[in-house]
Structure 1
Amino acid sequence: MLYEQQPAWLTTRPLQPTPVPTRSAISFLADADRLLLVQDYEGAMSAYREVARLEPDNPESYTAIADIQLMLRNFDASFAAAERAVQIAPEDPNALASLSRILDWRSEYELSIQRGLEALEYAPDNPKVLAVLGEAYSDVRNFPIAEKYLADAFEIDPNNVLVLRNLAYLQEMQGEYEEAIRLYDQAIAAAPNRFDLYLEKGRQYEVGLLDLEKADENYTKAVELYQSALTLDAQGYGVYNLGDPFRAVNILRKAKAADPEYGLARVHLGMAYYALRNYEDAVPELEAGVKLLGDEARIEHIYSLGLAYIYKEDPECDKAIPWLQRALEIEPESGPALDGLARCRSS
């Protein structure tokens, strides 16, 4: 008997899963660029983390994450990413510049300038390096050197957003608020979707020129571009300073919902409740905010917490006194703190 053997191509084969193409680092970088354009910063950082997974010896993804986290005011996360970038590539000027900048924002000025000068040795014509050095020297109030670095950076790349922003910051540090606004406008023209530039421009109006209406316009624009605890807090506290604590409470509640661990939003919400004489709601917000802020809590936050305990429907002087005493440690002649202690002692 003859048996005919089937050709191999007729033999039944087990079904195999359809192979999934492996994505490249370049495709994730394209994702990050696209997400940054629509202000999806978390999505962009996720894409950069995928790049880091695929290219563990490339510092660029960590440098990008460090810069985004700094823009979001997440200082610890920014420092960790910048430090990792420098560990991977100790001589990379952009990584060193990112580390220099976050050190500056953490008030570690000497170390910041050291890292910036190291970067300058490797890339003397790098506008990011020059701009970061200009910012650090502005913070230590060495304005002639700051101006020299920033002028060099501007000559190399006059449309660089960081260069323009730091030129504005130099003017702000010297009290030239109108010139700072002009330069912030140039930075915004180069990067119209950068919410942080509107926050900083708003600060010029609020703190420098005392134009609270203009400040509110810029904070509102920042929220339109990127709604977060950071932007909502700036808008809400600006409205509080405009004298509308009712509206401020509504905005600051949104800031708290966006990030309950954002100390400024909690303390500002407490201040708004305090202005409305809603001391019962002021106490937990002020207390949470002061604890989250730690050493960055301001004296008015601290004594307002103490006074809120006193002015509650059921006063709690035992809880008020430690906060009032803490305020007096900062400023021994603080009138509100002294008045609060006197009220407790007379009750």
Structure 2
Amino acid sequence: MHLQRGKFTFKKKKRDRYGRITIYLELILIGLYIIRQRQTEVISAPFVPTPTATRSAISFVQEAEAYFSSGKISEAIESYKLATTADNTIADYWIELARLQVYDNNPSQALVSADTAIALDEENSMGHAVRALALDWLQEFDDATMSAVRAIQLDGKNALAHAYYAEILTDTSRFAQAGDEARLAISLNPNSMDVHRVYGQYLESVGAYEDAIIEYQT
């Protein structure tokens, strides 16, 4: 067998430079793809909207109180409704809603709100008191009287219960007892707008107009 030297070489063959670059680029791209996939698993997509914080019921109550202080009863009612939507288990929210609904001349709606409050807390004196107020404005005086008496039984120091009872007594022309209840309400809470309103109504009904004006302005 004859070997011809010309067909063999001991020099290393030169690899294709461009081929190596292509391989390197492919490896880099594969590495970047793997890194990107791992980042995607950990980091949420940047354009997904973040959830909006839900307002608390107490924030709506504070808003309602601010509206009422500014004389904006309708807006205050809407805020109390939002409070009861945010948390429908708090009797006090329904009670305040009912009270304002009466003053907004919606005693039927107020009665529903008051009944909801009582269903949540049967022994809540204010629940029965505001129910009495709603019934009085509906001219259902017998039921109103029973609710007012129940409110006073539950809490004898509830100024508004005595005030609303005085209002019922005034509306049914039982003026002597109405005066006693109204004055008791004032002694229990001399700073209550409702108490002075009821006492003013009583004074007006018995002809003490100048004193009534003072009470309405208090």
Which category describes the TM-score, using the shorter chain as reference length?
Answer: 0.7 to 0.9
Q: 1:110 aligns with which of 142, 145, 149?
A: 142
**1:129 and 2:129 correspond:** no
Q: 1:141 aligns with which of 173, 187, 190?
A: 173
Deviation string 1:21-57 (CA, Å, 9 cap, x unpaired) is 1111111112112222333322222211121112212
Are the aligned partners of 2:108 and 2:138 in contact in 1 as well (CA < 8 Å)?
A: no
Match of 1:150 in 2: 182
Separation in structure 2 between the aligned mates of residue 49 and residue 139 of structure 1, nearest angstrom: 30
Range 8-17 or range 153-162, more displaced: 8-17
Separation in structure 1 between the aligned mates of residue 145 and residue 97 of structure 2, nearest angstrom: 21
Whichever residue aligns with residue 6 of structure 1, its letter is: I
Match of 2:66 in 1: 34
Name stretches of at least 5 consecutive residues in structure 1 with no aligned partner. Answer: 187-347
Separation in structure 2 between the aligned mates of residue 13 and residue 55 of structure 1, nearest angstrom: 32
Aligned partner of residue 6 in structure 1, secondary structure: helix
Deviation string 1:162-207 (CA, Å, 9 cap, x unpaired) is 1111111111121222221222122xxxxxxxxxxxxxxxxxxxxx
Separation in structure 1 between the aligned mates of residue 196 and residue 74 of structure 2, nearest angstrom: 25
Matches within 5 A, 1:203-222: none
- Off by >3 Å, runs of 4+ in structure 1: 1-5, 7-13
Range 42-51 or range 6-15, more displaced: 6-15
| Structure having greater relative contact order (Cα 8 Å, sep ≥ 6) | 2
Matches within 5 A, 1:88-237: 88-186=120-218
Match of 2:79 in 1: 47
Separation in structure 2 between the aligned mates of residue 86 and residue 13 of structure 1, nearest angstrom: 47
Match of 2:91 in 1: 59
Deviation at 1:145, TM superposition (A): 2.0
Separation in structure 2 between the aligned mates of residue 173 and residue 59 of structure 1, nearest angstrom: 33
Q: CA RMSD in A?
A: 2.1
Separation in structure 2 between the aligned mates of residue 30 and residue 56 of structure 1, nearest angstrom: 16
The 1:141/1:126 distance shift into structure 2, 3 A limit, reads same
Q: Once the two structures are aligned, what percentage of the paired residues are identical?
A: 24
Aligned partner of residue 141 in structure 1, secondary structure: coil
**1:6 and 2:38 correspond:** no
TM-score, scaled to structure 2 = 0.76
Whichever residue aligns with residue 126 of structure 2, its letter is: N
Separation in structure 2 between the aligned mates of residue 145 and residue 13 of structure 1, nearest angstrom: 70
